[in-house]
Structure 1
Amino acid sequence: MTAPYACQPQDSRGRLWPERMSTFRSPWQRDRDRIIHSSAFRRLKHKTQVFVEHDGKEYRGDYFRTRLTHTIEVAQVARTIAGALDLNTDLAEAVALAHDLGHPPFGHTGEDALAALMEPFGGFDHNAQALRIVTRLERHYADFDGLNLTWETLEGIAKHNGPILDRNDAGDPLPAPLPYALAEVDAAWDLELHTNASAEAQVAAVADDVAYNHHDLHDGLRAELFTEEELAELPVIGPAFAEVDRLHPGLDRMRRRHEALRRVFGVMVEDVIAVAENRLAGLQPQSAQEIRDMEGPIIRFSKPLYQNIKAIKSFLFQRMYRAPSVVDERHRVTKIVNDMFPLFMKDPAKMPESWQRAILLAGDETDRARIVLDYVAGMTDRYAIAEHQRLFPE
């Protein structure tokens, strides 16, 4: 039984291309399954978070997170939080599973490079690209392009991090430039970009924060970019290590690390649930639309924990995301993207035949750039590296 403020399957706004209801799956179970079976979801296996997958160099290994393992962890956290709050767990899971589909190879480094290259052609944003994938680029069904997901799942992909457009005093949207991939979807089906997303999509966004804060600590330790002793100086983490040492003195290093970091994980999840329960009890929303129309998100960290997480993020930024070895890798993979994109723009014959045909049908340079972007952004790390080696032999 879900709460009145949860999204209800019978109230779904449906799909852009109407389909007969499934006899044994809810609309959002169906969305979840389509996402899992998509080509873009499978490619997440070889797209990275921080450490680039490549041949025989530093950071190669099976223990570091990829976009796929991260996405599975986000979906697990989202289901847990949504279930505790009597929300629709299937919708929360569907949004969580789709939230990173638009990421290009090489994590945020690849995104930064493509955003710069695409600036003259409408920009690049991974959330907008995820929408483009699920509405256009997945081409497996006879009746439509994309996955034909429900409005609620598309809304969640677009707005899980908050409203895209500001509102005036009357609550109406204020016009602003949008990434073209988002603008195209919104023009076809109004996603109400000036409002919050559903509580379920907000849960997916917070679950993303929980998952990456937790696993980046694990991965940074495994990469030996910092030590447990250094982490013990940070808020939340220090008390977690102290509790493990009190309960399990002399525990071996790997077990001690895992026991401490799973407590950090628990602190974040429990905080989100407690804050949401308190706010929901005070505001008493009676529909999913009331959640959307609120001034701010209903699902968030408490202010004290948020400040502690900021301190942890600041540490990770300096010691992990900007570590000299990681920065060197960023330069290398940025060059890969910066080499390939203009080459494909100049000589589409270097692309696979199906993409060459798409280029031939393109109307102008902007259309061509967006097709090249779709190709490059869809690459996995290993494919991008292999293609660069083929096209730019040393």
Structure 2
Amino acid sequence: MSETAPYAAKSAQSLGRLHGAGPSPTRSEFQRDRDRIIHSTAFRRLQHKTQVFLAHEGRHFRNRLTHTLEVSQIARSIARALRLDEDLAEAVALSHDLGHTPFGHAGERALHRAMEPYGGFDHNVQALRVVTLLENRYAEHDGLNLTWETLEGILKHNGPLLDAQGRPYGRYAHEGLPSGLDAIPAPADLRLSTFASLEAQVAAVADDIAYNAHDIDDALRAGLVTVPDFADVPMAGPIVSEVLGLYPDIGAKRHAHEIQRRMITRAVEDVIATSAARIAAAGVETSEDVRLAGEPLVTFSAATANAEKGLKAFLFDRVYRHEAVMVPVRESESVVERLFAAYMADPDMPGRWGEAGRAVTGAERARIVADFVAGMTDPYALDQYQRLFDARPDFR
């Protein structure tokens, strides 16, 4: 990799880890973070967690793991082009979904409702809990002992949590800060009112690029839409017309792949060109300048951002709220809500979870139950549901 830009994060200047780890003769600090994440239990569980479509439906739909790997690849490509630290961008990308529940966003909504009396549930905070508290394989400490920069990126890759006056910012302006933040151990203040590094911002936009493209692909595989349905849809429409014009006879499967890869390529190129210009215009010279810039510097162009909103509106209407999707969504929400209620009433959870849950009540028990339920894979959640209620939900 060529030398990084002055405003890139510098592994040698990291604010460090909560627990000393000593220098590595073969890896940078951010490379070590990436490797710890890949080898974690929570990362492996992503292969059995829903993205949009439930895994039991087959047809090679994405799961959280395949989505995460796609985000990671896109993040590295953008970071390389912008002369950022690819390893930090990859570490944040690989860890950005570690806090997600089983059954995708349906499970998260259900767990948030169940946790509302106790401060709610937020998957970014949960990811921090996973990497700082809940992973327990190391001999000398709980958690993965990641660097400050990776922890900051996990928490703030979508932007600050507070504005400059200390008020909840962005989506947190309506609901307030999520609970659990004060329990996160970190080597230094995570500075909730500043933006994260450019590398973390890259991971966030890579997430958008990946799920826009692969949700189209999965929706086509599921038969919820056809390629011609996208003819007038912003962002996708011009590419659909182009592909159908160039390759009218190659078949729907090849059409879908060609559309997907062209969408990813053009979105990546748009982000690189736009972000390079924004970084230059902002005059940032260090990663600290980036944090204090007052706005994100890694973004789509205005035209692409507007087109992306139109695409998301189409997907929301035609895919995410399609009855074939909503039936398993409603069942999934019920599974998560009933599991949470059952464990709150009787913390009949295995191992350390049950022991800890029985020792406390109220908000403390709720946090333990939320940690346990959020960490479940889809199949494990269904097995626990079967054990507790002697029933199997019908997702059809």
Fold conserved between structures, TM > 0.5: yes
Q: Distance in 2 between matches of 1:179 and 1:264?
A: 34
Does 1:52 find its partner at 2:54? yes
| CA deviation map 1:4-29 (0-9, x unaligned) | 00001111000011220111100010
Secondary structure of the residue aligned to 2:184 is: helix
Q: Distance in 1 between matches of 2:187 and 2:80?
A: 32
User: TM-score scaled to structure 2, two decimals?
Assistant: 0.94
Residue 62 of structure 1, CA deviation: 4.8
Change in 2 beyond 3 A, CA 1:37/1:49? same
Q: Distance in 2 between matches of 1:19 and 1:154?
A: 16
Q: Distance in 2 between matches of 1:231 and 1:336?
A: 34
Tell me which residue corresponds to 1:388: 385
| CA deviation map 1:33-77 (0-9, x unaligned) | 0000000000000001111234xxxxx115100000000000000
Tell me which residue corresponds to 1:379: 376
Letter in 2 for 1:358: A
User: TM-score scaled to structure 1, two decimals?
Assistant: 0.94
Stretch deviating more after TM superposition (256-265 or 284-293): 256-265
| CA deviation map 1:287-336 (0-9, x unaligned) | 00101101110000111111111010000001111001211111111111
Letter in 1 for 2:95: A
2:355 aligned residue (354, 357, 364): 357
Residue 187 of structure 1, CA deviation: 7.7
Note the 1:136-155 alignment, pairs <5 A. 136-155=133-152
| C-alpha RMSD of the superposition | 1.5
**Which runs of 5 or more structure 2 residues have no equivalent in the other structure?**
392-396
Tell me which residue corresponds to 1:130: 127
Q: Distance in 2 between matches of 1:79 and 1:215?
A: 18
Secondary structure of the residue aligned to 1:180 is: coil
Q: Distance in 1 between matches of 2:140 and 2:63?
A: 33
Tell me which residue corresponds to 2:244: 245
Q: Distance in 2 between matches of 1:5 and 1:15?
A: 21
2:8 aligned residue (6, 9, 21): 6
Q: Distance in 2 between matches of 1:319 and 1:226?
A: 7
Stretch deviating more after TM superposition (238-247 or 154-163): 238-247
Residue 239 of structure 1, CA deviation: 1.7
Secondary structure of the residue aligned to 1:118 is: helix
Tell me which residue corresponds to 2:260: 261
Residue 253 of structure 1, CA deviation: 2.1
Q: Distance in 2 between matches of 1:47 and 1:370?
A: 21
Secondary structure of the residue aligned to 2:55 is: coil
Contact 2:124 2:155 in 1 (8 A): yes
Does 1:327 find its partner at 2:326? yes
Letter in 1 for 2:36: R
Residue 188 of structure 1, CA deviation: 6.9
**Number of aligned positions between the proteins:** 383
Contact 1:240 1:261 in 2 (8 A): no
Secondary structure of the residue aligned to 2:373 is: helix
State percent identity of aligned pairs. Answer: 54
Letter in 1 for 2:162: L
Tell me which residue corresponds to 1:29: 31
Does 1:93 find its partner at 2:73? no
Residue 242 of structure 1, CA deviation: 2.3
Contact 2:90 2:203 in 1 (8 A): yes
Tell me which residue corresponds to 1:73: 70
**Which runs of 5 or more structure 1 residues have no equivalent in the other structure?**
55-59
Contact 2:18 2:185 in 1 (8 A): no
Secondary structure of the residue aligned to 2:180 is: helix
Letter in 2 for 1:269: V
| CA deviation map 1:130-154 (0-9, x unaligned) | 0000000000111111000000000
Contact 1:158 1:182 in 2 (8 A): no
Residue 340 of structure 1, CA deviation: 1.2
Q: Distance in 1 between matches of 2:28 and 2:90?
A: 13
Letter in 2 for 1:354: R
Tell me which residue corresponds to 1:340: 339
Contact 2:17 2:186 in 1 (8 A): no
Q: Distance in 1 between matches of 2:245 and 2:331?
A: 45
Q: Distance in 1 between matches of 2:160 and 2:311?
A: 26
Change in 2 beyond 3 A, CA 1:269/1:161? same
Residue 243 of structure 1, CA deviation: 2.0
Q: Distance in 2 between matches of 1:88 and 1:198?
A: 10
Stretch deviating more after TM superposition (120-129 or 211-220): 120-129
Tell me which residue corresponds to 1:296: 295
Contact 2:48 2:64 in 1 (8 A): yes
| CA deviation map 1:370-389 (0-9, x unaligned) | 11111111110111112111
Contact 2:51 2:62 in 1 (8 A): yes
Tell me which residue corresponds to 1:57: none
Residue 86 of structure 1, CA deviation: 0.1
Does 1:83 find its partner at 2:83? no
